[in-house]
Amino acid sequence: MVRKELTPPEIYKLLPKTNCGECGVPTCMAFAFKVARGKASPVECPYLSEEASAKLLEETAPPIAKIVISSRGKKVEIGGERVSFRHEDKFFNETALALELNDKMSENKIKHLLERVKKFKVERMGQTLRLNLLALKSCTGNPEIFRETVMKVRENTDLPLILCSFNPQVMMRGLEEIQGEKPLIFSADKRNLLQMSTLARRFKCPIAVHSEDSMSTMIQIIKRLKGMGIRDIVLSPPVRHLKEAVSNLTIIRRTAIDKGFNILGYPTITFSSAFNGIGGKEIWETILASTFILRYASIVIFKNLEEHNVLPILALRQAIYTDPRAPLQVKPGLYAIGNPGEESPVLLTTNYSLTYQLVSEDIKNAGLNCYLLVVNTDGLSVVCSVAGDKLKPERIAETIKETSLEEKVNHRKLVIPGRAARLRVKIEDETGWEVEIGPLDSREIKGFFKR
Amino acid sequence: MDELPLPVEEYSGKVAEVKIGATRNEGGTRDFALVIGGDRVLPFYFFEGSNPNPPVIALEVYDSHESLPRPVKAFYSDELVENPVEWSRYVVEKLGAKMLNVKLVSVYPETRDEEPRKAAELVEEILQEVKVPLMVSGIEELWGPREVKKNMETLCEVAERTSGERVLLNPVTLDAYETVARSCIEHRHCLIAKTNMDVSQAIKLNGLLLDRGLTPERIVIDVTTGPLGYGIEYTYSTMERLRLRALKGDKSVQCPLVMFPSESWSAREISEKKGIDEMEKLGVAFEVVTAVTGILSGGNLLSILHPKTLNVVREFINEFLGQPRISINLKEWMKNAEW
């Protein structure tokens, strides 16, 4: 990273050094570390002088600004990013997925779609994956019809909105209908800049900047907005085809972060349904959305709600925005599945969330009553922990002790995953238990116990 | 006019070019050879420069079809998948595959436990029937010493019988690399160095292979593919880190990267689907997204299972090469009420 950032001692100097603990951490030094890592905002310190606060906010702000889009009940944060590669730290705010609606749709159609959005959720690895925003566009160009559609949408959902029109009159009527909320205005461009920016200031909303064909036009518009004191900006760079989209999204992220060019330090908005010229539209919407997610897009707008289109996008987003140093984990320990007694089998697995989820589901599906011994592998799967020497026999022995497993069952037989077969003897030596090699795939647990 | 400081990096390193397949002039019998790698910049960093060779796709054929996902079997027909030679001919002649990954799954000790000799004979037959470059896969999931040994025997047998064809042998791991490396050099092939989603392991194995006299022009790195929803983030970041290291000048990892989107078919979400059409749609979508992720993290070679994925991924790659077919227009999008 080229951008110079304040170190924890430098931040500490500006803090009150009273260790009052009101910010939630016990010492000012600990708070300084949190601020330096971007985990806390300076304003969480109640005793910070105004001068120090301004300096800290300025100097510790992430190179990609954090922007909030909100309704009365919900808010979505985008941007706030500090690195270009997730292995350098992590990505902070996951790409917001927005379903596209328009003002030519009937009330029934809108209701029906919003009902589907409400029901649409996927449980994966202990997280609930959902859609985050609605993008409502004015196809008619008629301000009154747009206002009515905003009203109808708002009657049926509390999701934050992106209002889409290049016509300031249309935009104004939409904004008036949901005054007090912070929808995203899409979009200012070089023609409507003055009127759209006036609306952004009047309604205190974030505003997107679009340039069809030129990055430098976009930069000029951003400068004008900043000159007017507008800070909540989202970028819609030229994306006439995939190649240009990938280039420009990368340029924005990397110039802002690695070259310290703060004029481009804003989140981006992309459109995976706005393309023409190729067959198989459904799969291409998924491809565009995936490409945008992988190239830093903060918002992706799409319109296809079929499972085979949305599920891959949700799974990809979840993966890319997982903290690389802290994989999704479950607590190590002993888990009772079904109604185990002292004769019930004991199975072993690792504490990677996905591994635990799959194995426990498979045991349930097998109708088995058993104990599942979950060993701490720092959140690695069976295959990775065996290869990386993270599934340690000593740790297995410790976990057996800590969970008082030997008092719960009257046998000493441990079933380990087939992929951990090579650890058998070491585990037996370390625990004193007899080890039996289970199936390679937990889906075969049912068949394994039938034998 | 505002100067936009393009985020251009000056890299000192360059990824080696690996040539797969030997033509008649080169001591083999292939109609053409494929070159992968040679990267000087990150994938699709057009503002920085361009890479010489687009990603190559290998389509998979199996020597025994029991473990094939239903939609794949249905696409080809039962008759075809029972005859790997005909199947290979079909994917080259009818589907236009430029490379095959012949998976010798019959040698797995847990299932058919077929003799390496028999599996290698099939590879010879396929080499006679089709003239595209080949990857040949032995046992990819090496969870025990039996598998490690059998894989080594299989790959050596294949190497010997296909001497001079510059086949890409898959996989060679830290468990057993010496024998295959030697055989690979002797019979003028190239190999895939497979480690487990870990940068330092990849560096270690590559170092050992280079020490044994393999040149970077004979090594392709596989960091293990965690498919979409099943650890793709590990694969993605490990590939990105290795590629950055290579470009920054670390000579021990300046080799092309291979990725296996075909692994996506093991996702539960797919096998839980009831109808075969639903399975296919979801499976192809998972495989495509895994492939896109692989390409954007630096993948030079992709091994793909479903022909529909092959078509779409080929089109995706083409969008970056010549005249793009897809146009995105937000002014039009704004007016378009079609749903």
- pLDDT tens-digit map of B129-174: 999 999 999 999 877 788 999 999 999 999 999 999 999 999 999 9
A38-60 average pLDDT score: 83
If asked whether residues A411 and A269 sit together in one domain, one would say no
Q: Where are the alpha helices (DSSP H) in A4-97?
A: 8-14, 28-36, 50-60
If asked whether residues A294 and A190 sit together in one domain, one would say yes
If asked whether residues A108 and A15 sit together in one domain, one would say no
Torsion of CA A183, A186, A192, A194, to 10 degrees: 40
| B contact residues 42-81, partner A, Cβ 8 Å cutoff | 44-47
pLDDT of residue B25: 96
Structure tokens at B270: 């797919």
d(CA A56, CA A108): 50
What is the pLDDT of chain B when averaged over all its residues? Answer: 95
Answer yes or no: is A261 within a domain: yes
Answer yes or no: is A31 within a domain: yes
CB A255 within 8 A of CB A248: no
pLDDT of residue A4: 57
Judged against a pLDDT cut of 80, whether residue A451 lies above it is answered with no
Residue B18 φ then ψ, to 5°: -110, 130
pLDDT digits (tens, 9 = 90+) for B214-244: 999 999 999 999 999 999 999 999 999 999 9
Number of domains, chain A: 3
Residue closest to A398 by CA, chosen among A337, A333, A349, A347: A333
d(CA B302, CA B257): 9
If asked whether residues A26 and A144 sit together in one domain, one would say no
Q: Which residues of B touch A212 (CB under 8 A)?
A: 330-331
Query: Residue B211: in which H helix or E strand, if any?
Result: helix B199-211
Q: Which CATH number does the domain housing residue A118 bear?
A: 3.20.20.20
Q: Which CATH number does the domain housing residue A399 bear?
A: 3.40.50.11600
Judged against a pLDDT cut of 80, whether residue A1 lies above it is answered with no
A17-22 average pLDDT score: 89
Answer yes or no: is A327 within a domain: no
d(CA A374, CA A279): 47
Q: Would you call A247 and B47 a contact, using CB atoms and an 8 Å cutoff?
A: yes
Judged against a pLDDT cut of 70, whether residue B73 lies above it is answered with yes
A25-41 average pLDDT score: 85
Judged against a pLDDT cut of 80, whether residue A392 lies above it is answered with yes
pLDDT digits (tens, 9 = 90+) for A83-131: 999 999 999 999 999 999 999 999 999 999 999 999 989 988 888 999 9
pLDDT digits (tens, 9 = 90+) for A58-82: 778 899 999 999 999 999 999 999 9
Lowest mean pLDDT, pick from A295-304, B4-13, B175-184, B253-262? B4-13
Domain boundaries, chain B: 17-336
Give me the DSSP letters along A283-301: HHHHHHHHHHHHTT-SEEE
d(CA A198, CA A160): 21
| B contact residues 82-121, partner A, Cβ 8 Å cutoff | 110
If asked whether residues A257 and A375 sit together in one domain, one would say no
Judged against a pLDDT cut of 90, whether residue B80 lies above it is answered with yes
Q: Would you call A166 and B6 a contact, using CB atoms and an 8 Å cutoff?
A: no
Indicate the CATH number for domain B17-336: 3.20.20.20
**Residue-range definition of the domain harbouring residue A46:** 8-59
d(CA A253, CA A255): 6
Residue with the bigger pLDDT between A379 and A374: it is: A374
pLDDT of residue A3: 47
> Chain B closest CA to A402's CA: distance in Å?
29
If asked whether residues A220 and A194 sit together in one domain, one would say yes
pLDDT of residue B2: 55
| Residue where a domain stops, chosen among A31, A59, A87 | A59
Judged against a pLDDT cut of 70, whether residue A199 lies above it is answered with yes
pLDDT of residue B292: 98
pLDDT of residue A154: 97
**B10 lies within 8 A of chain A by CB:** no
B52-69 average pLDDT score: 96
> Chain B closest CA to A203's CA: distance in Å?
22
pLDDT digits (tens, 9 = 90+) for A207-239: 999 999 899 999 999 999 999 999 999 999 999
pLDDT of residue B1: 43
Q: Would you call B293 and A294 a contact, using CB atoms and an 8 Å cutoff?
A: yes
Cα Rg for chain A, rounded, in angstroms?
26
If asked whether residues A403 and A290 sit together in one domain, one would say no
**A88 lies within 8 A of chain B by CB:** no
Judged against a pLDDT cut of 90, whether residue B300 lies above it is answered with yes
pLDDT of residue A280: 76
**A418 lies within 8 A of chain B by CB:** yes
Listed in sequence order, the residues at least 6 apart from A321 whose beta carbon sits closer than 8 Å to its beta carbon are A90, A91, A93, A94, A95
b/e for A271-293, b at 16 or more Cβ within 10 A?
A: bbbbbeebeeeebbbbbbbbbbb
ipTM over 0.95: yes
Q: Would you call B327 and A277 a contact, using CB atoms and an 8 Å cutoff?
A: yes
Identify the band that residue A243 occupies on the pLDDT scale cut at 50, 70 and 90: very high
pLDDT of residue B54: 97
If asked whether residues A257 and A148 sit together in one domain, one would say yes
Answer yes or no: is A1 within a domain: no
pLDDT of residue A2: 39
| Residue where a domain stops, chosen among A17, A36, A59 | A59
The β-bridge relationship of strands B17-20 and B219-222 is unpaired
CB atoms under 10 Å from CB of B166, counted, come to 25
| Residue where a domain stops, chosen among A25, A41, A59 | A59
pLDDT digits (tens, 9 = 90+) for A295-334: 999 999 999 999 999 999 999 999 999 998 888 889 999 9
pLDDT digits (tens, 9 = 90+) for A376-385: 998 888 888 8
Q: How many CB pairs under 8 A join A and B?
A: 206
Q: Output DSSP code: residue A89.
A: S
B114-139 average pLDDT score: 97
If asked whether residues A126 and A188 sit together in one domain, one would say yes
If asked whether residues A337 and A316 sit together in one domain, one would say no
If asked whether residues A54 and A72 sit together in one domain, one would say no
Judged against a pLDDT cut of 80, whether residue A282 lies above it is answered with yes
B259-283 average pLDDT score: 95
pLDDT of residue A342: 94
If asked whether residues A360 and A305 sit together in one domain, one would say no
